Structure 1
């Protein structure tokens, strides 16, 4: 139980760090931890007419980040994002799936347009 709570806290801390990082890059955070029947979106962010549904992965080391995201996980994020698009994206908005990878003592790694489905 303790390991699960520690992982949950680490994930929430990573999402907070990712949100701060995106804000510093000019993004406005529209929502956090949005649940759908198809999966959860960690962050929904907007900059200009671009809406990004963002998957955040937090790992203990930067080496682990290389294996933090896979096609199966991204497909679930994409399905959830498709369900949520009408809520966050208006006419003329572009939409994409991004990933932000977080590890201690490392600058966040932002992978733009990570899902091309």
Structure 2
């Protein structure tokens, strides 16, 4: 296995573990998970969850420390999530009856989860 392949395998495993931790935290907080790793023509969304009619399009990131979250969601990724959300809402019009927000969940090396609700908003 090449070093690049090994890094990719580790990143995939780490990402799957982080998504599982994120979903566990969301469910414990009363969210319903509609989808994990939902693929759209605009790209993949890590988690789609809903609570009391509020739909959350969620990006999950692993970082060594929770404090490293500030630069975790660049503009290009935000644009991809916006485009994916439009597709998701067109395919599932019954989701998000009270609105949609974009959250970022950071999972640190110890498995702690930090949610940044409304991590960004689309330009009006």
Q: TM-score, normalised by structure 1?
A: 0.89
The aligned residue for residue 59 of structure 1 is: 63
The aligned residue for residue 24 of structure 1 is: 28
Q: Which residue of the other structure, out of 35, 38, 41, is the alignment partner of 2:42? A: 38
Q: Give how far 1:63 is off.
A: 4.3
1:8 aligns with 2:12: yes
List alignment gaps of at least 5 residues for structure 1. Answer: none
Are the aligned partners of 2:60 and 2:105 in contact in 1 as well (CA < 8 Å)? yes
Q: CA RMSD in A?
A: 1.7
Q: TM-score, normalised by structure 2?
A: 0.84
**Secondary structure in structure 2 of the residue aligned to 1:112:** strand
Q: Which residue of the other structure, out of 103, 112, 117, is the alignment partner of 1:107? A: 112
Larger Rg: 2
**Secondary structure in structure 1 of the residue aligned to 2:33:** strand
